[in-house]
Every structure is written in C-alpha cells, then in structure tokens.
Amino acid sequence: MAFSLPHYREPDFTGPLFSNSPRAVFEPSPSHGVAPDNFHATSNFPEYVQIETGDWRLCPGSRMDCVIVRSGAELSVREFRTLKKGELVLTGRKENGEEGVYVHADPFVTPEKPGDKFQFKTRVTRETPFSRDYDFIYDLLRYERGSGHITWVLGPAVAFDRDSRNAMIELISEGYCHAIMAGNALATHDLEASLFGTALGQDIYSKKNMPLGHYNHLELLNRMRAYGSIEEAVEKLGLEDSITGACLRRRVPMVLAGSIRDDGPLPGVIADVYEGQDRMREFARKSTTVIALATQLHSIAFGNMIPSCQVIGGTVRPVYLYIVDISEFAVDKLANRGSFQACGISTNVQDFCVNLNRALTG
C-alpha cells in the first residue's frame, strides 16, 4: 500500500471551549535575551494564538522550550537567547484558550477501538517486534525521498562496521538522505575507515586490532587538518568511498557539532556550541522525517529542536522521529524530554542500516 500522510484535525474554534477566550497578551522583552514575566514557553505540539482580529493563528514550527514573538501580524517561535529588548513576547501559561493560547495535543489522532485496562507489552523493549515499524519506515522513506526532507542524526557506531557504513553510503547515494547531523567522531572514524580500513584501530569487518592501530584516527585527523578542509582532503587522499564522500558527491549538508572531548578536531567541525545549535536548527526547520542512530545526546538535542508538524503548501503534516539504539534507556529518553512523537526501535544500528538498505535499494 502506498504511503499517505495522515489527515490533520484542526481545532473547532467555533466550539464552546473558545467562546469566551480572550485575545492573547504580548509584553515587551525587558532586555536582550530575557523574556517578560509570565512568558509562555512552547512545546512541540501545534500551538494557536488568538490575535487582535479574533483569528486563531497557528504558530509556525512550534518546538520545545522557546517563546512566541509578534512582529506586526507575524508570529515566530524563537529561542530565548535571540530576543532583543522591546520585542513583543507572548505571555500566559494556560493552554486551553483561557489566555488566548491553545496547545493542540492530538492533531493526528486516528480513531481506535478502546483497549483493555490491563495489557502486556505496552513499552518498547528488546522483545518488542518491529516488523510493522520497518515496513512503515520503508514506505515513509520512499515517499519522503521526493516529497519531504530526511535528516539523519548519526553516531560513530554507524562507521564502526563495514556493512552498516556501506549501507549508509548507498542510502545517501540513492537520495534517501537530505542532511546529516553528527559530531566529530562520526566523520573521523568514517574517514579513518577509508584511509586505513579501521575505526579506532580495529578492522571494520574482522574486528581485529591492527598493529599501532590506536594511532590511526589521530593520523587521519592530522592529515585532514594539514589540508585545511574536509573537501580538499577527501579529494587529495582519495577518501571518496565514505559516508562523508557520498555527502560531498550528492551535495548533502553534513553539520558536525563539536564536543568537549573531541580529538583534533576535523576541519569544519563547529567548535562554538551555539553556532552549532543555530546551524542544526536550520535543518530542524526543514525536516519532515528524522532518524537518529546510536547517539543519545545528539538525538535529544536535535529531537528537541524539531516541531511535531510542518506546514507545507498550506497542508499541516506530521514530522516523524525515529530513535534507533541498542539501549532501551536511550530509546525512551527523548520522549521523556518532551518530543512526544519519538518512536523507538531497540536494535543495533548495523542490523537496522543493512535491513533498510536492502529494502530500499535492493
């Protein structure tokens, strides 16, 4: 069956819940980076604001832990640190229209038969069957390749195994990736694999530790830094057969955000945490499907940047978010941080990547 987007159910603003709702109140920011008292903090649910005309306006790209700013008739969702003194910021903390704000918590709910009060297997674990999830993802990605924006959030484990690395290269080459968010480690070990056939000195197929292999990633970093850019080094060192090389060929953006423990780092890794966040947010605003593989902190960071829905061509559609990790804790963590649409698949990323690639590229 061909994939189709679920229908968005808009709130009925003519109903009794909204009959006495006041207009929303905006107050000026008292100083740069500071919201007024009683500011309204956004969720990643769709949020509506009743403006002076009485219209309920859907805020574009509502996401976790931001504020809503009004400029004339326009509303925007912004991070606290971007506020300028005097900008008008939405206030009010009630969410059912009492203060001119409505948080729409069930926009894509489909009718289901009521279940029993007690049920087994209600949480994702290593025992959860994922066959239906895989089939859904296959159909979703086929649709999104031409109609959406697929963003991958990758941990270095993807590059530690020959088959998962090759699978990701092919998925990128076949158009199933429009952007990659990662850290220094993913690109470093991916390129180490191209140069030496190892990741952290271990052969990416046999898993044997190579003589002096613990130098390999440092040798790779040193050579890359000598060339001054990833693009130059990939060409001069012949590292095109890599995840990084596939991104360069397909002109797929790769945002590498640094961390305190980075070696090197590679040229092009963003060292300033807020610059990295701003760069990642560019793609969070575009993404319609996000798949995060074995990187807990990056998954939480990017997952909290994305809204639950996007408005594209006048149509409100969901933003899909999958977290794939061998750890059940990691699978649950993002949902616990407010990203309600996060779906977990508890498996190792090597199996996930290989299965995905076989189904999509055959």
Does residue 309 share a domain with residue 254? Answer: yes
Inter-residue contact 294 to 155 (CB < 8 Å): yes
pLDDT in tens, 33-66: 999 999 999 999 999 999 999 999 999 999 999 9
Task: State the SS3 of 223-234.
Answer: HHHHHCCHHHHH
Q: What is the pLDDT of residue 243?
A: 98
Give a yes or no: residue 117 inside a domain.
no
User: Given a cut of 80, is residue 334 above it in pLDDT?
Assistant: no
CA-wise closest residue to 263 among 140, 156, 113: 156
- For 114-129, how does the pLDDT look when each residue is reduced to its tens digit (9 = 90+)? 555 444 454 566 667 7
Closest of 256, 230, 258 to residue 245, by C-alpha: 230
Mean pLDDT of 279-293: 97
Whether 321 and 306 have beta carbons less than 8 Å apart is answered as: yes
d(CA 320, CA 109): 14
Query: Residue 112's pLDDT is what?
Result: 58
Give a yes or no: residue 349 inside a domain: yes
Peptide bond into 253 cis (omega under 30): no
Query: Which H or E run contains 329?
Result: helix 328-336
Same domain, 230 and 348: yes
H-run or E-run covering 217? helix 216-227
pLDDT of amino acid 122: 46
CATH number at residue 214: 3.40.50.10690
CA distance 230 to 17: 56
Host domain of residue 90: 16-103
- Are 158 and 59 found together in one domain? no
Distances (CA, A) of 117 to 109, 112, 114, 120, 122: 20, 14, 9, 10, 11
Cα–Cα dist 360/176, whole Å: 9
What is the pLDDT at residue 345?
Answer: 92
Would 154 be classed as within a structural domain?
yes
Q: Which of 151-165, 300-314, 324-338 has the lowest mean pLDDT?
A: 324-338
Domain assignment present for residue 62? The answer is yes
Q: Which helix (H) or strand (E) holds 298?
A: helix 296-305
CA–CA separation, 99 and 124 (whole Å): 37
Are 84 and 222 part of one and the same domain? no
User: The tokens of 90 are what?
Assistant: 């939405």
Residue 332 or 249, more confident: 249
Q: What is the mean pLDDT of the chain?
A: 93
Lowest average pLDDT, out of 201-205, 244-248, 284-288, 343-347, goes to 343-347
Nearest to 79 by CA among 259, 274, 242: 274
Rounded-to-10 torsion of CA 157, 162, 163, 164:
20
- The reply to whether 85 and 135 lie within a common domain is no
- Residue 121 counted as domain residue: no
Neighbours of 348 (CB within 10 A): 15
CA distance 307 to 303: 9
Which tokens sit at 133? 């999830």
- Of the listed ranges 3-12, 97-106, 146-155, 328-337, the least confidently predicted one is 328-337
Please give the DSSP secondary-structure letter assigned to residue 270: B
On whether the CB atoms of residues 139 and 1 are closer than 8 A, the answer is yes
Please list the residues that pair with 58 across neighbouring strands: 48
Question: pLDDT tens digits for 71-117?
Answer: 998 999 999 999 999 999 999 999 999 999 999 998 986 655 555 54
Task: Give the closest residue to 331 by CA, choosing from 181, 123, 32.
Answer: 123
Q: What is the pLDDT of residue 315?
A: 92
Euclidean distance between CA atoms 8 and 95, whole angstroms: 19
68-77, 103-112, 227-236, 315-324: least confident range: 103-112
Tens of pLDDT along 9-30? Answer: 999 999 999 999 999 999 999 9
Listed range (155-164, 190-199, 264-273, 328-337) with the worst mean pLDDT: 328-337
Hey, what are 295's tokens? 């990187």
152 and 59 in one domain?
no
Burial of 26 (0-12, 13-18, 19+ CB in 10 A): buried
Read off the CATH number of the domain in which 29 is found. 2.40.420.10
The per-residue pLDDT for 253 is: 98
Residue 114 is predicted with a pLDDT of: 54
Q: Is residue 182 over pLDDT 50?
A: yes
Q: What pLDDT, on the 0 to 100 scale, is given for residue 126?
A: 65
* Full-model pTM: 0.93
Task: State how many domains the chain has.
Answer: 2
